Amino acid sequence: MLIILLGSGKGIENSVHRNFESRAINSIQMWPGQTSVAYKGNKTGRNIRYDNEDFDFIKNHMKGIEYGSGRYYIDGNSIVAYKKEYASMDLRAVHPDFPHIEILDILSGRFFNRFDLEQYSKVVVLSQKAKDQLFNKEEAIGKYVTVTGVPFEVIGVFNPKNDRDKDSKMLYMPISTAQRVFSGANQLHNIAVTTGASSVEESKTIHENLKKLMAQRHHYDVNDTKAINSYNALEDFEKVTTVFRGIRYFMWVIGLGTIIAGIVGVSNIMIVVVKERTKEIGIRKALGATPWAIISLILQESIFITAVAGYVGMVLGIGLLEIISRSIKTDFFINPEADMSVTISATILLIVAGAVAGFIPARRAAGIRPVEALKDE
């Protein structure tokens, strides 16, 4: 039971971790909304827009920020073509820090850097799926594709860490280039930052500071919750971790509970066994068995029973987990397993349990008086 419970807990935990892996754990995302409160002469219903200045200010002046990237979504008919192949895909314009925020596996080539940004280079990075569709088996790096008719050089191919996005066709380009080519002026649809090695408390402070900053720069009430949408991944992660710790403790408690029930059971049986073997124990004592010899006799038996039964239970539990993990392939239950350390501590626990179970029966056995035992008929 213990194994199954612990394994299941780990399975759910693993899936949640997997979900978190795709994004930098220490990231804070924010995107603008609409004001809902009149403030300093400004009406409600005003659309807030972020811009490059916001981003630069944050990057240069906010304390505790490690990486940052804005995002600009290119609207319209987003056709990307290479020679005779073409595909429609998501076009995203970001800053060079972006791979640190949404984790990307760069498969070949590189992501664009500060120079590309400053030079307004016409370069793109394609997702594996996009590259396959346009280039097939051909090498893509160094070739030119057209994005809505405008030629761009492919400098890298990536795969997103996020399982859900793995099958989608995506393209990233420097935000400066996008703003110039696609007349986005200097608008940013979203700003995301990472907080480096800050603690959860520190990241919460940074989060608050960012919200205050945006309220200030865009002249809306800092308490207007509709004017800004934001998300602190670290805070979320901490909540989830705490929940799982709680779940794990709970599982242990239940598992221990079942073990205790087992101990009581074995103990009961041993008491009966001792009673049945009273005569034999009396004979042994008459022949020179010390109390310790009798105790170890009983303990050996109870430890043996507990260890064997426990081991069988453990093997069955692990087997059951294996079967479950093979037949259920949902996102919520990945790799349920109990790792080695759990298994070893469970085994030790079993041996100790056996000793505890045998303790009272053993004491009873040692206390048997040979005179009375031998009179037993």
Residues making contact with another protein (CB under 8 A): 279-280, 282-293, 366, 369-371, 374, 377
Residue by residue, DSSP assigns 9-30 as HHHHHHHHHHHHHTB-TTEEEE
| Nearer to another protein among residue 75 and residue 376 (C-beta) | 376
Strand partners, 34: 47
Provide the minimum distance between the beta carbon of 286 and another protein in the complex, in angstroms, as a whole number: 5
| Nearer to another protein among residue 11 and residue 282 (C-beta) | 282
Provide the minimum distance between the beta carbon of 326 and another protein in the complex, in angstroms, as a whole number: 46
| Nearer to another protein among residue 334 and residue 366 (C-beta) | 366
Structure tokens at 118: 């400053």
| Nearer to another protein among residue 95 and residue 284 (C-beta) | 284
Structure tokens at 175: 């935000």
| Nearer to another protein among residue 319 and residue 367 (C-beta) | 367
Contact assessment for residue 54 and residue 191, using Cβ atoms and an 8 Å cutoff:
yes
If you search the block for the tokens 């099958």, which residue do you land on?
167
For residue 127, what is the enclosing H or E element? strand 123-127
If you search the block for the tokens 């794990």, which residue do you land on?
248
Can you tell me the distance from the alpha carbon of 297 to that of 345, in angstroms, rounded to the nearest whole number?
A: 25
How far does Cα 304 stand from its chain's mean position? Answer: 40
| Nearer to another protein among residue 142 and residue 288 (C-beta) | 288
If you search the block for the tokens 């569709």, which residue do you land on?
133
For the purposes of burial, counting CB atoms within 10 Å of the CB of 134, is it exposed (0-12), middle (13-18) or buried (19 or more)?
buried
The terminus-to-terminus CA distance of the chain in angstroms comes to 43
Provide the minimum distance between the beta carbon of 293 and another protein in the complex, in angstroms, as a whole number: 6
